[in-house]
Structure 1
Amino acid sequence: MHSSAVFLVEFGAIILALGLLGRFAGRFQFSPIPLYLLAGLAFGKGGLLPLGASEDFVAIGAEIGVILLLLMLGLEYTASDLLSNLKTQYPAGLVDAALNALPGAAMALLLGWGPVAAVVLAGVTWISSSGVIAKVLGDLGRLGNRETPVVLSILVLEDLSMAVYLPIVTALLAGAGLAAGSVTLAIALGVAGLVLFLAVRYGRHISRFVSSDDPEKLLLVVLGLTLVVAGLAQQLQVSAAVGAFLVGIALSGEVAEGAHNLLAPLRDLFAAVFFVFFGLHTDPASIPPVLVPALALAVVTALTKIATGYWAARRAGISAKGRWRAGGTLVARGEFSIVIAGLAVTAGIEPSLGPLATAYVLILVILGPLTARYTEPLATRLTQRLSERAVRGPAATGGERELEPTAQASHDPVDGQDVDVLGQS
């Protein structure tokens, strides 16, 4: 009876603290993820108020949080959307993977962590935070900008890549050999391909089967189906998160919209619990030793994300201002970086990987909204100064006659007429 009371007090205190932190973040218009991670550090071992009775329940809630994050992500896209993005934007996805995964892998190898940790850290630095970026786009009023479809396409490709990447990581962390790992990957790809095929051909029938006018029944059926598929996927040595993602893709239309509205509060609750759980398993004293590598990795991968967005937007014919906005928007890392690192922490492959990932995400989840807002004006100002210096050089030797035409030429008429509404040119 006493332990039950302690559990209720502890878990209630966690939920209350998360609610207050979320309100605080909302008032200042930034992501609450870093605050949730800090709360986990405070409640974990070595923190200010270590938990006892409620830690097991928090672990289960964290697993549900990961499943709901991936389910809700899958509900955002249809199978046809994914196939269309694969056909048109795959070069941007390949550039994104090369520029942003390689720094993480290189850092792990430089630190002497081995190839498995290199694959894990590559994923941590590769995947942008869809949740943070979507919120930033809404807060900045850029959902209708011409560069926004480019940003969303890159996010879709990253999310789809998770269906291949997570089974590989799961097999590596489990210590599976080449043959077993190949079987696991083949099963994952086969399941993903089958779900995509069924979603394209029979998506309406699946949605009709799940559909219900009663919100309670719809919630129970969708949530129950997701947990069952996630459990079966994990039983087959495929990530439960991938199973949830595929369930979300299979649902479409009014069912997907209704399920999204019903599950959003649950997703937010359990996702917050997940971030706290990750912080619980990170000793605050272990962060300072990895702070310098985390900061270096954050700076490098912030620049590579900006380069990725700039290149992809340029390929799509977006003007210079839109290219810089696209690059700055992609910088934020968040939920998926922590999900990937969490798999490694659970497997216990490298004690320092969890603290480094925590510090890395904390840096970029704070820096991301700032780069989204200020990359374009800073780049524009820097370009103007370089143009002015270029003008002064010839003017100093060639007289005043060259100054006026060059200064006029420095103004980009395309940027000056940058259109922020989809469908316009």
Structure 2
Amino acid sequence: MDSAVFLIEFGAVVLALGLLGRFAVRLRFSPVPLYLLAGLLFGAGGIVPLGGSEEFIEVGAEIGVVLLLLMLGLEYTAGDLVGHLKTHAPAGGVDFLLNAVPGAAAALLLGWGPVAAVVLAGVTWVSSSGVIAKVLGDLGRLGNRESPVILSILVLEDLAMALYLPILTAVLAGSGWLAGGLTLAIALAAVGTVLLVAVRYGRVISRFVSSDDPEKLLLVVLGTTLLVAGVAQQLQVSAAVGAFLVGIALSGEVAENTHHLLMPLRDLFAAVFFVFFGLNTDPSTIPSVLLPAVVLAALTALTKVGTGYWAARRSGIAERGRWRAGGALVARGEFSIVIAGLAVSAGAVDPSLGPMATAYVLLLVVLGPLAARFTEPIARQCVLWRGKEYPGAAPGRRPLAPRPVEPEPTPATSD
């Protein structure tokens, strides 16, 4: 590989990502769809196909997935995960049924087979934690009563991924029932062990990793994460799960400092990952799957709204908060692309699944912030159009009592 060509190509890609990120910030929406579009532009069948730097971008994409999951694990403590699992498990079950089943059914209806059904179920199931957290912050809703319900569903989805990804890895590898069951057993044992150790000895682990020198802390955490991710992948458990478990094991000040140190690296390599997924998708294949992607996006947007509404209602949230919770969950993003990327790189599914996932995520990562903003006002207008009173339309105010009608004065009579 010509080093000059590599530097020129990779530098152009990173510069383009930086400019696209700035553009997304000005428009106040997630840069993920722009990164995917950049990958389509630079990939095979695009306008400017890459040559010398594609191999490095592939490695960078793998690191991007590991860092995405590590940072996600750092957001939670083991106690948080256990608490959410006990309290909101029914909402997690409803979320799975309403959103994973349509994806699996779509794959079967398209004739892609059971392996693609497992993949597309994960793509349509998991909401984008990053996009949703940013949207809630932008709308000033982090303190709303429905926000803990939204975050609980996201936590359950992330925890479920620690079990789903090993199953997916075994399915994509064509493992039999015995090998698949062994992989799942290893994953369950790993998740359970890490949660137990993190709950009881989290402070000890964090104290061991902790360092006052940011450079040493960065090297120790990053090295440990890559090592554990590699071992996990060697055991067919998934590198992403290994990274997620490392993040959970760290807590307190160490987790906070690590989060700040790794955030720029995470942003860089995560952007490279989205570009790499786009590189592997031929833009000319998207029109053929655009209609199914639009139908599936519309259907699973509605099912996510239903999921949030049901979960918020179960938690005693008022009508307005239920609709806001549902609208906030619509966005799909990084996890959906991770799942589709694993399937595409394994070559075990129909080639159309990659373009389908790209179009699906592009649609919902743009629609998600709009749904979060406008689902509740639209629901209110629909109720008013039907001539009914919208619950909580004017919280804290009582309807005005009708003004008493004073009796008319009796006309005077003359003697």
If the length of structure 2 is used for normalisation, what is the TM-score?
A: 0.94
Q: Is residue 372 of structure 1 aligned with residue 372 of structure 2?
A: yes
The 5-angstrom pairing of residues 330-409 of structure 1 reads 330-348=329-347, 349-387=349-387
- Equivalent positions of 1:47-66 (< 5 A) are 47-66=46-65
CA distance in 1, matches of 2:45, 2:391: 55
Residues 246-266 of structure 1, C-alpha deviation per residue, up to 9 Å, x if partnerless? 000000000000000111111
Q: Which runs of 5+ in 2 are unaligned?
A: 398-415
CA distance in 1, matches of 2:71, 2:350: 30
Tell me how far 1:412 sits from its aligned partner: 2.9
Residue number in structure 2 paired with 1:403:
none
* 8 Å CA contact retained: 2:38, 2:275: yes
Cα pair distance change 1:343/1:417, threshold 3 Å: farther
CA drift of 1:413 comes to: 4.4
The amino acid of 2:129's aligned partner reads S
The verdict on how the C-alpha distance between 1:380 and 1:227 changes in structure 2, with shifts beyond 3 A counting, is same
**1:227 matches 2:226:** yes
Shift of 1:382: 1.0
Change (3 A) 1:414 1:28: closer
Segments of 4+ in structure 1 off by > 6 A? Answer: none
Q: For 2:74 and 2:33, how far apart are their aligned partners in 1?
A: 25
The amino acid of 1:416's aligned partner reads P
> Once the 2 structures are TM-superposed, how far is the Cα of residue 332 of structure 1 from its aligned partner?
0.2
| SS, match of residue 47 in structure 1 | coil
**Unaligned stretches of 5+ in structure 1?**
389-409, 419-425
Q: Over residues 352-382 of structure 1, what are the superposed CA-to-partner deviations in whole Å (9 max), with x where a residue is unaligned?
A: 0000000000000000000000001111111
Match of 1:203 in 2: 202
1: CA distance, partners of 2:393 / 2:161: 37
C-alpha deviation, 1:387, in angstroms: 2.4
Kept in 1: contact 2:141–2:147 (CA 8 A): yes
Q: CA deviation at 1:386?
A: 1.2
Letter in structure 1 aligned against 2:351: P
Instruction: State the secondary structure of the residue aligned to 2:2.
Output: helix
Q: Deviations over 1:129-156 (max 9, x none)?
A: 0010011011111110110000000000
| TM-score (structure 1 length as normaliser) | 0.92
Aligned-partner Cα distance in 2 for 1:375–1:382: 11
In the alignment, which residue of structure 2 is the partner of 1:34?
33
> Quick one: which amino acid aligns to residue 27 of structure 1?
R
How far apart are the structure 2 equivalents of 1:211 and 1:47?
46
Please give the secondary structure, in 1, of the residue aligned with 2:386.
helix
Q: Which residue of 1 aligns with 2:97?
A: 98
Q: Which residue does the alignment assign to 2:407?
A: none
Give the AA of the match of 2:285. Answer: S
Structure 1 residues 76 and 133, CA gap change in structure 2 (3 angstroms): same
1:237 counterpart SS class: coil
Q: In the alignment, which residue of structure 2 is the partner of 1:416?
A: 395
Q: 1:50 to 1:206 in 2, by over 3 A?
A: same
Per-residue Cα deviation, 1:98-129 (whole angstroms, up to 9, x for no partner): 00000000000000011010010000000000
**Counterparts of 1:343 and 1:309 in 2: how far apart (Å)?**
28
Are the counterparts in 2 of residues 344 and 350 from structure 1 also a CA contact under 8 Å? no
Root mean square deviation, CA, Å: 1.1
Alignment of 1:238-257 (within 5 A): 238-257=237-256
8 A contact 2:230–2:239 mirrored in 1: yes
Contact persistence 1:319–1:415 (CA under 8 A): no
**Counterparts of 2:392 and 2:343, CA distance in 1:** 50
State the Cα distance separating 1:384 from its structure 2 match: 1.4
Q: Distance in 2 between matches of 1:285 and 1:296?
A: 20
Distance in 1 (CA, whole Å) between partners of 2:206 and 2:23 is 38
**3-state SS of paired residue (1:256):** helix
Q: Tell me which protein shows more helix as a share of its residues.
A: 1
Counterpart in 1 of 2:16?
A: 17
The aligned counterpart of 1:117 is 116
Q: Which amino acid aligns with 1:323?
A: R
Q: Which has the larger radius of gyration?
A: 2
Counterpart for residue 305 of structure 2? 306
2:383 is matched by which residue type in structure 1?
T
CA shift, 1:7, in A, is 0.1
Look up the match of 1:422: none
Q: 1:214 Cα shift?
A: 1.0
1:272 has 2:251 as partner: no
Cα gap change, 1:170 to 1:417, in 2 (>3 Å) = farther
SS at match of 1:416: coil
- Distance (Å, rounded) in 2 between the aligned partners of 1:35 and 1:209: 40
* 1:414 CA displacement: 7.7
